[in-house]
């Protein structure tokens, strides 16, 4: 059986779907992953088929207008309007690319904005559709919206309507572009005023959530066909670290990891200066990973080492603590390693995951990037490392996450559904 996965976004958005694709491949499926060209080599190295979706997520993250839009997440109107401006023109192209990727496939798995065009292609080809997400999108009162983190954890009277209104706001802004593409490309009728989500909920199509129930338990109001499977990790056991990295790690106590993934700060020099000064004030060795604006190892003190890339599953267990932007993928990796986590969210769902880390006791309250100083970061590092409760809780959560079989759980749900609906 052939399955096509459609994923859009940065590395943290796409890599879990490579992991899911590998698990499906190991279960005997032929798997094609439709995503951006920058990930082609990595996908083919895992013996998965690749199909291109236009767009360069890394270039987009460097765009000033795009970053300003992402940082407007606390204002639902501005955020949703920006979503339309960035995604609207890409809908027709994305639908064409998804149709190409879905030829001769038996089912489609979609995530994020790909839901809009994946749904149309699955309907056109009359094949099963499965949704898979790294952030919660279905309404609940038990926690705030991941994209509009305006509510309070226990204030269900506010949280639930924010989920609903936010989802509808997105749909109403996207509806003209989606329905125009359906009509002009495929001669298909428009989707309803209230959008496709209520329709697929009535159909009880399975939804996979690729995060740990230890981090975010399944809400009591979610139906049985919404599944929280555990994280989908892509490990690289054969990775050989460079000799200078090994030498640095062996030359002293575990360092503090500081990295911001795909988030290139508007002022990388400022972030580098703050990080270096904070490590010095805290009396800690440090390891910097990516996003440092041309900073060379020769610019650093002996107590700090910089690497351009390293697998999280190898690197993070060797750290004293982790400091990052609270992207879904980095948050998962840090928690899995059992390390206390200090978060500095930039935008979007990072705010949600940063608050979640603090709520489960694996780290302090998030630091605010715009008001970040070396003193504040140093204080957070010192207090976190000295807090035995946080260290114990982070270690306990890491042990539970490492025992989960998220990818295998997801594969079983997919297989059961497809076998029950074989044509």
Distance of CA 316 to the CA centre of its chain: 18
Measure the CA–CA gap between 231 and 402, rounded to whole angstroms: 9
* Mean pLDDT in residue range 411-422: 92
Rounded Cα–Cα distance for residues 272 and 111 (Å):
34
Tell me the two tokens of residue 98.
Answer: 């998804």
Average pLDDT over residues 75-95: 68
Between CA 331 and CA 333 the distance in angstroms is: 5
**pLDDT per residue as tens digits for the range 101-133:** 999 999 999 998 788 888 999 999 999 999 999
Question: Residue 278: what pLDDT?
Answer: 97
Tokens 């986590």, residue located: 341
SS3 18: helix
User: In the chain, what are the domain boundaries?
Assistant: 2-231+404-420, 243-403
Query: In the prediction, which pLDDT does 157 show?
Result: 74
pLDDT band of residue 63 (cuts 50, 70, 90) is low
Percent share of the chain, pLDDT over 90: 62
Residue 405 and residue 228 in contact, taking contact as beta carbons nearer than 8 Å: no
Q: What is the pLDDT of residues 350-362, one digit of tens each?
A: 999 999 999 999 9
Q: Does domain 243-403 have CATH number 3.40.50.2000?
A: yes
Q: What is the pLDDT of residue 267?
A: 66
Instruction: Compute the average pLDDT of residues 84-101.
Output: 79
Counts of helices then strands in the chain (DSSP H, E): 17, 12
Q: Pick the residue with more confidence: 12 or 56?
A: 12
Q: Encoding tokens for residue 137?
A: 């999108």
For the cut 60, the answer to whether the pLDDT of residue 288 exceeds it is yes
Q: Average the pLDDT over 8-24 and give the result.
A: 92
Taking residue 305's Cβ as centre, other Cβ atoms within 10 Å add up to 20
- CATH classification number, 2-231+404-420, choose in 1.10.760.10, 3.40.50.2000, 3.40.50.1100, 3.30.479.10: 3.40.50.2000
* Residue 219 φ then ψ, to 5°: -65, 150
Sheet containing strand 49-52, strands side by side: 49-52, 30-35, 2-6, 107-110, 129-133, 207-209, 226-228
Among the listed ranges 59-68, 207-216, 318-327, which one has the minimum average pLDDT value?
59-68
Mean pLDDT of the chain, nearest integer: 88
Q: Identical fold at 2-231+404-420 and 243-403?
A: yes
**Mean pLDDT of the 338-358 span:** 93
Residues composing the chain = 423
pLDDT at 169: 81
* Whether the Cβ atoms of residue 340 and residue 391 lie closer than 8 Å to each other: yes
pLDDT at 171: 84
Q: Residue 165 burial (CB < 10 Å; 0-12/13-18/19+)?
A: middle
> What number is the average pLDDT over the span 81-99?
75
Residue 264 has pLDDT above 70, yes or no: no
Query: What average pLDDT does this structure show over 166-188?
Result: 87
């Amino acid at each position: 059986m052939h399955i096509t996965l459609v994923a859009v976004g940065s590395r943290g958005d796409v890599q879990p779907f490579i992991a899911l694709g590998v698990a499906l491949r190991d279960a005997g499926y032929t798997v094609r992953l439709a995503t951006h060209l920058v990930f082609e080599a990595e996908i083919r190295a895992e013996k998965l088929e690749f199909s291109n979706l236009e767009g360069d997520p890394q270039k987009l993250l460097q765009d000033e207008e795009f970053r300003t839009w992402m940082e407007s997440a606390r204002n639902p109107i501005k955020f949703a309007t920006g979503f339309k401006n960035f995604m609207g023109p890409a809908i027709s192209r994305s639908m064409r690319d998804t149709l190409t990727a879905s030829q001769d496939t038996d089912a489609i798995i979609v995530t994020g904005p790909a839901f809009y065009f994946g749904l149309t292609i699955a309907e056109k080809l009359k094949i099963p559709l499965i949704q898979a997400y790294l952030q919660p999108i279905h309404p609940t009162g038990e926690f705030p919206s991941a994209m509009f983190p305006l509510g309070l954890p226990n204030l269900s009277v506010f949280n639930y309507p924010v989920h609903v209104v936010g989802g509808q706001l997105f749909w109403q802004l996207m509806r003209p572009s989606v329905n125009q593409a359906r009509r002009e490309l495929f001669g298909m009728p428009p989707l309803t005023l209230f959008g496709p989500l209520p329709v697929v909920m009535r159909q009880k199509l399975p939804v996979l959530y690729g995060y740990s129930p230890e981090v975010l338990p399944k809400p009591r109001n979610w139906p049985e066909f919404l599944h929280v499977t555990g994280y989908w990790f892509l490990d690289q056991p054969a990775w050989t670290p460079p000799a200078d990295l090994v030498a640095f790690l062996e030359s002293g106590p575990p360092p503090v990891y500081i990295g911001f993934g795909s988030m290139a700060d508007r002022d990388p020099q400022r972030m580098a200066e703050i990080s270096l000064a904070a490590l010095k004030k805290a009396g800690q060795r440090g390891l910097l990973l990516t996003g440092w604006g041309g900073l060379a190892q020769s610019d650093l003190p002996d107590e700090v080492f910089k690497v351009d890339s390293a697998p999280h599953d190898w690197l993070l267990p060797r750290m004293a603590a982790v400091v990052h932007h609270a992207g879904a993928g980095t948050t998962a990796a840090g928690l899995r390693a059992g390390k206390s986590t200090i978060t500095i969210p930039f935008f979007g769902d990072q705010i949600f995951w940063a608050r979640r880390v603090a709520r489960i006791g694996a780290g302090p309250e998030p630091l605010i990037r715009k008001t970040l100083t070396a003193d504040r970061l140093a204080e957070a590092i010192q207090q976190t490392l000295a807090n035995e409760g946080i260290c114990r809780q982070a270690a306990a959560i890491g042990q539970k996450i490492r025992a989960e079989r998220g990818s295998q759980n997801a594969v079983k749900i997919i297989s059961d559904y497809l076998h029950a609906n074989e044509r």
